Amino acid sequence: MNLKAVRYNNPMLISAVRSKLTSKSNVWVAPSIDFAGVTDQFLANASEYAEKTDNRAYWQWLLTKVLQRVTLPKAPRILEVGAGSGNATLALLELVPDARILANDISPQLIAIMRARLTAAQAKRTELVCADALALEFEPESFDFAIGTAILHHLFEPEAMLRQVCRALVPGGQAAFLEPFEPGHVVLRVILEHLIRDRAVLGIAEEIAADLQRSVDDTAMRASLRRDDPTINILDDKWLFTAGRFAAMGERVGFRRSVCFSTPDVTGLFEGHIHCWLKYVRGRADLPDTAWEVIRHYDRVFSDDLKQEIFLDGAVVFTK
Ligand SMILES: C[S@@+](CC[C@H](N)C(=O)[O-])C[C@H]1O[C@@H](n2cnc3c(N)ncnc32)[C@H](O)[C@@H]1O
Protein backbone atom coordinates (compact mmCIF):
# COMPACT_ATOMS: atom_id res chain seq x y z
CA MET A 1 0.00 0.00 0.00
CA ASN A 2 1.21 3.48 -0.76
CA LEU A 3 1.05 5.29 2.48
CA LYS A 4 3.66 7.98 2.44
CA ALA A 5 5.21 10.34 4.91
CA VAL A 6 3.44 9.13 8.02
CA ARG A 7 6.00 8.85 10.75
CA TYR A 8 5.40 6.30 13.44
CA ASN A 9 8.01 7.44 15.88
CA ASN A 10 6.32 7.48 19.25
CA PRO A 11 7.11 4.11 20.77
CA MET A 12 4.98 4.81 23.83
CA LEU A 13 1.83 5.34 21.84
CA ILE A 14 2.59 2.47 19.53
CA SER A 15 3.23 0.03 22.35
CA ALA A 16 0.29 1.33 24.36
CA VAL A 17 -2.04 0.79 21.45
CA ARG A 18 -0.43 -2.41 20.23
CA SER A 19 -0.61 -3.97 23.66
CA LYS A 20 -4.37 -4.05 23.16
CA LEU A 21 -4.08 -5.81 19.82
CA THR A 22 -4.00 -9.47 19.13
CA SER A 23 -1.13 -9.14 16.71
CA LYS A 24 1.49 -6.53 15.98
CA SER A 25 1.26 -6.98 12.24
CA ASN A 26 -0.72 -4.79 9.85
CA VAL A 27 -1.28 -1.98 12.32
CA TRP A 28 0.13 1.48 11.86
CA VAL A 29 -0.29 4.11 14.50
CA ALA A 30 0.24 7.86 14.09
CA PRO A 31 2.79 9.42 16.43
CA SER A 32 0.26 11.79 17.93
CA ILE A 33 -3.46 12.08 17.50
CA ASP A 34 -5.73 15.05 18.17
CA PHE A 35 -9.04 13.61 19.37
CA ALA A 36 -10.88 16.97 19.34
CA GLY A 37 -14.48 16.42 18.28
CA VAL A 38 -14.37 12.63 18.79
CA THR A 39 -16.68 11.54 21.61
CA ASP A 40 -16.22 8.77 24.20
CA GLN A 41 -18.68 6.68 22.25
CA PHE A 42 -15.74 5.80 19.94
CA LEU A 43 -12.95 5.92 22.52
CA ALA A 44 -13.61 4.89 26.16
CA ASN A 45 -16.94 3.25 25.28
CA ALA A 46 -15.76 1.70 22.02
CA SER A 47 -16.67 -1.89 22.90
CA GLU A 48 -20.26 -0.94 23.61
CA TYR A 49 -20.43 0.86 20.24
CA ALA A 50 -18.86 -2.10 18.44
CA GLU A 51 -21.27 -4.54 20.06
CA LYS A 52 -24.33 -2.44 19.23
CA THR A 53 -23.41 -2.13 15.55
CA ASP A 54 -22.16 -5.70 15.00
CA ASN A 55 -24.64 -7.28 12.59
CA ARG A 56 -22.94 -9.22 9.82
CA ALA A 57 -26.09 -9.86 7.75
CA TYR A 58 -27.00 -6.16 7.79
CA TRP A 59 -23.52 -4.99 6.72
CA GLN A 60 -23.37 -7.58 3.93
CA TRP A 61 -26.74 -6.38 2.67
CA LEU A 62 -25.72 -2.72 2.88
CA LEU A 63 -22.34 -3.12 1.18
CA THR A 64 -23.91 -5.27 -1.55
CA LYS A 65 -26.21 -2.31 -2.31
CA VAL A 66 -23.23 0.04 -2.52
CA LEU A 67 -21.18 -2.30 -4.69
CA GLN A 68 -24.07 -2.53 -7.17
CA ARG A 69 -23.61 1.21 -7.78
CA VAL A 70 -19.85 1.28 -8.39
CA THR A 71 -17.41 -0.22 -10.87
CA LEU A 72 -14.30 -1.79 -9.41
CA PRO A 73 -11.25 -2.99 -11.35
CA LYS A 74 -9.70 -6.40 -10.65
CA ALA A 75 -7.88 -6.59 -7.32
CA PRO A 76 -9.02 -3.12 -6.28
CA ARG A 77 -7.06 -1.07 -3.78
CA ILE A 78 -9.64 0.22 -1.33
CA LEU A 79 -9.27 3.06 1.17
CA GLU A 80 -11.71 3.09 4.07
CA VAL A 81 -11.83 6.16 6.33
CA GLY A 82 -13.43 6.07 9.78
CA ALA A 83 -13.70 2.28 9.58
CA GLY A 84 -14.43 1.90 13.31
CA SER A 85 -14.65 -1.69 14.44
CA GLY A 86 -14.58 -2.91 10.84
CA ASN A 87 -18.27 -3.47 10.08
CA ALA A 88 -17.95 -2.39 6.43
CA THR A 89 -14.34 -3.60 6.18
CA LEU A 90 -15.29 -7.19 6.99
CA ALA A 91 -18.21 -7.11 4.57
CA LEU A 92 -15.96 -5.72 1.80
CA LEU A 93 -13.28 -8.34 2.44
CA GLU A 94 -15.92 -11.03 1.97
CA LEU A 95 -17.75 -9.46 -0.95
CA VAL A 96 -14.64 -8.46 -2.92
CA PRO A 97 -12.31 -11.42 -2.36
CA ASP A 98 -9.39 -9.99 -4.36
CA ALA A 99 -9.51 -6.51 -2.75
CA ARG A 100 -6.79 -5.06 -0.55
CA ILE A 101 -8.04 -2.60 2.03
CA LEU A 102 -6.37 0.16 3.96
CA ALA A 103 -8.76 0.69 6.87
CA ASN A 104 -8.28 3.85 8.88
CA ASP A 105 -9.79 5.07 12.12
CA ILE A 106 -8.82 7.69 14.67
CA SER A 107 -9.81 5.50 17.64
CA PRO A 108 -7.13 3.12 18.98
CA GLN A 109 -9.84 1.20 20.82
CA LEU A 110 -11.92 0.60 17.69
CA ILE A 111 -8.85 -0.28 15.61
CA ALA A 112 -7.95 -2.87 18.25
CA ILE A 113 -11.44 -4.36 18.06
CA MET A 114 -11.26 -4.48 14.27
CA ARG A 115 -7.85 -6.17 14.38
CA ALA A 116 -9.23 -8.85 16.67
CA ARG A 117 -12.16 -9.48 14.30
CA LEU A 118 -10.01 -10.17 11.22
CA THR A 119 -9.14 -13.75 10.35
CA ALA A 120 -5.48 -14.44 9.51
CA ALA A 121 -6.33 -14.54 5.79
CA GLN A 122 -8.24 -11.25 6.00
CA ALA A 123 -5.43 -9.57 7.93
CA LYS A 124 -3.06 -10.35 5.04
CA ARG A 125 -5.24 -8.25 2.72
CA THR A 126 -5.69 -5.42 5.19
CA GLU A 127 -3.64 -2.63 6.66
CA LEU A 128 -5.00 -0.83 9.68
CA VAL A 129 -4.03 2.77 10.25
CA CYS A 130 -4.87 4.45 13.52
CA ALA A 131 -4.74 8.18 12.81
CA ASP A 132 -6.80 11.25 12.01
CA ALA A 133 -7.51 10.57 8.33
CA LEU A 134 -7.07 14.26 7.60
CA ALA A 135 -3.54 14.22 8.98
CA LEU A 136 -2.39 11.41 6.67
CA GLU A 137 -0.56 12.01 3.45
CA PHE A 138 -1.69 9.38 1.02
CA GLU A 139 0.22 8.86 -2.16
CA PRO A 140 -1.91 10.70 -4.79
CA GLU A 141 -3.87 8.44 -7.16
CA SER A 142 -3.08 5.28 -5.22
CA PHE A 143 -6.57 3.87 -4.56
CA ASP A 144 -9.29 2.63 -6.93
CA PHE A 145 -12.19 2.99 -4.52
CA ALA A 146 -12.80 4.74 -1.21
CA ILE A 147 -15.55 4.27 1.32
CA GLY A 148 -16.70 5.85 4.55
CA THR A 149 -19.76 4.73 6.49
CA ALA A 150 -21.17 7.28 8.94
CA ILE A 151 -17.98 9.31 9.13
CA LEU A 152 -18.55 12.66 7.38
CA HIS A 153 -21.29 13.87 9.73
CA HIS A 154 -18.92 13.47 12.70
CA LEU A 155 -16.23 15.75 11.28
CA PHE A 156 -15.71 19.49 11.76
CA GLU A 157 -14.86 19.76 8.05
CA PRO A 158 -16.49 17.03 5.92
CA GLU A 159 -15.28 18.76 2.77
CA ALA A 160 -11.66 18.39 3.90
CA MET A 161 -12.21 14.62 4.03
CA LEU A 162 -13.66 14.62 0.53
CA ARG A 163 -10.64 16.57 -0.73
CA GLN A 164 -8.29 14.12 0.97
CA VAL A 165 -10.08 11.11 -0.51
CA CYS A 166 -10.37 12.62 -4.00
CA ARG A 167 -6.63 13.24 -4.07
CA ALA A 168 -5.92 9.64 -3.08
CA LEU A 169 -8.12 8.17 -5.86
CA VAL A 170 -6.98 7.31 -9.38
CA PRO A 171 -8.70 9.27 -12.19
CA GLY A 172 -12.06 7.56 -12.72
CA GLY A 173 -11.91 6.16 -9.17
CA GLN A 174 -15.04 6.28 -7.06
CA ALA A 175 -15.83 7.09 -3.44
CA ALA A 176 -18.99 6.13 -1.55
CA PHE A 177 -20.11 7.75 1.69
CA LEU A 178 -23.11 6.58 3.69
CA GLU A 179 -24.59 9.44 5.69
CA PRO A 180 -27.78 10.91 7.20
CA PHE A 181 -29.66 13.29 4.89
CA GLU A 182 -31.63 16.35 5.89
CA PRO A 183 -34.86 15.98 3.83
CA GLY A 184 -35.81 12.62 5.36
CA HIS A 185 -34.77 13.75 8.83
CA VAL A 186 -36.98 16.82 8.56
CA VAL A 187 -39.97 14.60 7.75
CA LEU A 188 -38.97 12.38 10.66
CA ARG A 189 -38.92 15.45 12.89
CA VAL A 190 -42.48 16.35 11.85
CA ILE A 191 -43.60 12.78 12.69
CA LEU A 192 -41.88 12.84 16.09
CA GLU A 193 -43.34 16.27 16.88
CA HIS A 194 -46.78 14.85 16.11
CA LEU A 195 -46.16 11.97 18.55
CA ILE A 196 -44.87 14.33 21.25
CA ARG A 197 -47.79 16.75 20.86
CA ASP A 198 -50.37 13.93 21.07
CA ARG A 199 -48.48 11.83 23.61
CA ALA A 200 -51.29 11.84 26.21
CA VAL A 201 -53.96 10.64 23.83
CA LEU A 202 -51.58 8.16 22.13
CA GLY A 203 -50.47 6.77 25.51
CA ILE A 204 -46.76 7.52 25.03
CA ALA A 205 -44.83 7.53 28.31
CA GLU A 206 -43.22 10.86 29.29
CA GLU A 207 -39.80 9.24 29.38
CA ILE A 208 -40.17 8.06 25.76
CA ALA A 209 -41.50 11.48 24.73
CA ALA A 210 -38.34 13.02 26.24
CA ASP A 211 -36.17 10.76 24.04
CA LEU A 212 -38.24 11.72 20.99
CA GLN A 213 -37.79 15.40 21.90
CA ARG A 214 -34.01 14.92 22.08
CA SER A 215 -34.06 13.55 18.54
CA VAL A 216 -36.16 16.54 17.36
CA ASP A 217 -33.74 18.99 19.01
CA ASP A 218 -30.77 17.18 17.50
CA THR A 219 -32.23 17.39 13.97
CA ALA A 220 -33.05 21.08 14.42
CA MET A 221 -29.52 21.84 15.59
CA ARG A 222 -27.74 19.87 12.86
CA ALA A 223 -29.88 21.35 10.10
CA SER A 224 -28.95 24.90 11.05
CA LEU A 225 -25.40 24.42 12.41
CA ARG A 226 -22.54 26.51 11.08
CA ARG A 227 -18.83 25.86 11.32
CA ASP A 228 -18.34 28.90 13.58
CA ASP A 229 -21.06 27.82 16.04
CA PRO A 230 -19.31 26.70 19.27
CA THR A 231 -21.93 23.97 19.73
CA ILE A 232 -20.05 22.05 17.07
CA ASN A 233 -17.34 21.28 19.64
CA ILE A 234 -19.64 19.23 21.84
CA LEU A 235 -21.94 17.69 19.23
CA ASP A 236 -21.23 14.09 18.31
CA ASP A 237 -23.42 14.05 15.18
CA LYS A 238 -22.67 17.41 13.60
CA TRP A 239 -24.24 17.51 10.13
CA LEU A 240 -27.09 16.44 7.91
CA PHE A 241 -26.51 16.45 4.14
CA THR A 242 -28.50 17.02 0.98
CA ALA A 243 -27.80 15.76 -2.54
CA GLY A 244 -27.20 19.38 -3.58
CA ARG A 245 -24.64 20.02 -0.82
CA PHE A 246 -22.79 16.84 -1.76
CA ALA A 247 -22.78 17.83 -5.43
CA ALA A 248 -21.35 21.27 -4.59
CA MET A 249 -18.71 19.90 -2.21
CA GLY A 250 -17.72 17.18 -4.65
CA GLU A 251 -17.27 19.70 -7.44
CA ARG A 252 -15.12 21.97 -5.26
CA VAL A 253 -12.73 19.16 -4.32
CA GLY A 254 -12.31 17.76 -7.84
CA PHE A 255 -14.94 15.05 -8.38
CA ARG A 256 -16.61 15.01 -11.80
CA ARG A 257 -19.92 13.51 -10.72
CA SER A 258 -22.02 12.68 -7.67
CA VAL A 259 -25.07 10.42 -7.42
CA CYS A 260 -27.13 9.86 -4.28
CA PHE A 261 -29.44 6.98 -3.43
CA SER A 262 -31.48 5.84 -0.45
CA THR A 263 -29.85 2.98 1.44
CA PRO A 264 -32.83 1.62 3.44
CA ASP A 265 -35.76 0.00 1.68
CA VAL A 266 -38.32 2.76 1.29
CA THR A 267 -41.43 0.68 2.01
CA GLY A 268 -42.13 1.33 5.69
CA LEU A 269 -39.16 3.74 5.73
CA PHE A 270 -40.17 5.83 8.76
CA GLU A 271 -41.49 2.89 10.76
CA GLY A 272 -38.28 0.94 10.12
CA HIS A 273 -36.06 3.88 11.01
CA ILE A 274 -37.90 4.74 14.25
CA HIS A 275 -37.91 1.06 15.24
CA CYS A 276 -34.11 0.74 14.77
CA TRP A 277 -33.43 4.10 16.41
CA LEU A 278 -35.49 3.24 19.53
CA LYS A 279 -33.76 -0.14 19.82
CA TYR A 280 -30.39 1.62 19.55
CA VAL A 281 -31.06 4.37 22.11
CA ARG A 282 -33.51 2.63 24.48
CA GLY A 283 -32.75 -1.04 23.92
CA ARG A 284 -36.37 -1.64 22.82
CA ALA A 285 -38.91 -0.17 20.39
CA ASP A 286 -41.55 0.36 23.06
CA LEU A 287 -44.10 2.68 21.50
CA PRO A 288 -47.81 1.82 21.85
CA ASP A 289 -49.71 0.52 18.81
CA THR A 290 -51.57 3.84 18.54
CA ALA A 291 -48.23 5.61 17.95
CA TRP A 292 -47.11 3.06 15.33
CA GLU A 293 -50.41 3.68 13.52
CA VAL A 294 -49.57 7.41 13.29
CA ILE A 295 -46.10 6.58 11.95
CA ARG A 296 -47.58 4.18 9.36
CA HIS A 297 -49.95 6.93 8.28
CA TYR A 298 -46.94 9.09 7.32
CA ASP A 299 -45.36 6.12 5.57
CA ARG A 300 -48.51 5.84 3.46
CA VAL A 301 -48.73 9.59 2.75
CA PHE A 302 -45.28 9.54 1.16
CA SER A 303 -45.20 7.30 -1.92
CA ASP A 304 -42.24 4.95 -2.30
CA ASP A 305 -41.11 6.99 -5.31
CA LEU A 306 -41.06 10.16 -3.23
CA LYS A 307 -39.22 8.38 -0.41
CA GLN A 308 -36.57 7.36 -2.94
CA GLU A 309 -35.96 11.05 -3.52
CA ILE A 310 -36.05 12.60 -0.08
CA PHE A 311 -33.33 10.37 1.44
CA LEU A 312 -33.39 9.68 5.17
CA ASP A 313 -30.22 7.65 5.30
CA GLY A 314 -28.47 7.51 1.99
CA ALA A 315 -25.28 7.15 0.07
CA VAL A 316 -23.44 9.47 -2.24
CA VAL A 317 -21.14 8.01 -4.87
CA PHE A 318 -18.53 10.41 -6.27
CA THR A 319 -16.57 9.76 -9.44
CA LYS A 320 -13.22 11.44 -9.99
C1 LIG B 1 -20.26 6.40 13.47
S2 LIG B 1 -18.66 5.73 13.54
C3 LIG B 1 -18.68 4.71 12.12
C4 LIG B 1 -17.72 3.56 12.22
C5 LIG B 1 -17.81 2.56 11.08
N6 LIG B 1 -17.58 3.19 9.80
C7 LIG B 1 -19.17 1.89 11.09
O8 LIG B 1 -20.03 2.29 10.27
O9 LIG B 1 -19.39 1.00 11.92
C10 LIG B 1 -17.60 7.08 13.07
C11 LIG B 1 -16.14 6.70 13.10
O12 LIG B 1 -15.33 7.77 12.63
C13 LIG B 1 -14.13 7.78 13.36
N14 LIG B 1 -13.51 9.09 13.18
C15 LIG B 1 -13.96 10.29 13.63
N16 LIG B 1 -13.13 11.27 13.21
C17 LIG B 1 -12.16 10.69 12.48
C18 LIG B 1 -11.01 11.17 11.78
N19 LIG B 1 -10.72 12.47 11.78
N20 LIG B 1 -10.22 10.30 11.13
C21 LIG B 1 -10.52 8.98 11.14
N22 LIG B 1 -11.58 8.45 11.79
C23 LIG B 1 -12.40 9.29 12.44
C24 LIG B 1 -14.59 7.44 14.78
O25 LIG B 1 -13.55 7.00 15.59
C26 LIG B 1 -15.62 6.36 14.49
O27 LIG B 1 -15.08 5.09 14.45
Question: Cβ(95)–Cβ(88) under 8 Å?
Answer: no
Q: Is residue 194 part of a domain?
A: yes
**Tally of CA atoms within 13 A in the half-sphere of 283 that contains its CB:** 1
**Do 120 and 205 fall into the same domain?**
no
Q: Give the model confidence (pLDDT) of 240-290 as tens digits.
A: 999 999 999 999 999 999 999 999 999 999 999 999 999 989 999 999 999
**Do 169 and 270 fall into the same domain?**
no
**Do 140 and 170 fall into the same domain?**
yes
Centre of ligand 1 from the C-alpha of residue 256, in Å = 26
**Do 10 and 101 fall into the same domain?**
yes
CB count in 10 Å sphere of residue 203: 12
Q: Which of 104, 92, 155 is nearest to 130 (CA)?
A: 104
Phi, psi of 304 (to 5 degrees): -60, -35
Higher-confidence position of 134 and 13: 134
CATH number at residue 11: 3.40.50.150
**Do 81 and 175 fall into the same domain?**
yes
**Do 75 and 141 fall into the same domain?**
yes
Question: Cβ(100)–Cβ(74) under 8 Å?
Answer: no
Q: Is residue 248 part of a domain?
A: no
pLDDT at 124: 84
Q: Is residue 129 part of a domain?
A: yes
Average pLDDT over residues 303-309: 94
pLDDT at 10: 47
pTM for this prediction:
0.92
**Per-residue pLDDT at 6 exceeds 50:** no
Amino acid at 55: N
Strand partners, 103: 80, 128
**Per-residue pLDDT at 19 exceeds 90:** no
Name the pLDDT band for 1 (thresholds 50, 70, 90): very low
Cβ–ligand 1 distance for 84 under 6 Å, the answer yes
Angstrom distance (rounded) from CA 17 to CA 128: 12
Name the pLDDT band for 18 (thresholds 50, 70, 90): low
Give the residue from 180, 198, 218 where a domain finishes: 180
Q: Give the model confidence (pLDDT) of 88-137 as tens digits.
A: 999 999 999 999 999 999 999 999 999 999 998 998 888 888 889 998 87
Q: What SS3 class is residue 198? A: coil
Q: Give the model confidence (pLDDT) of 193-248 as tens digits.
A: 999 999 999 999 999 999 999 999 999 999 888 888 888 888 889 999 999 999 99
Amino acid at 169: L
Cβ–ligand 1 distance for 109 under 6 Å, the answer no
Mutation test residue for ligand 1: of 154, 179, 263, 313, the one with most atoms within 8 Å of CB: 154
For 221, the domain range is: 182-234+264-311
Cβ–ligand 1 distance for 106 under 6 Å, the answer yes
Quick one: angle between helices 56-67 and 87-95, nearest 10?
Answer: 60
**Do 212 and 76 fall into the same domain?**
no
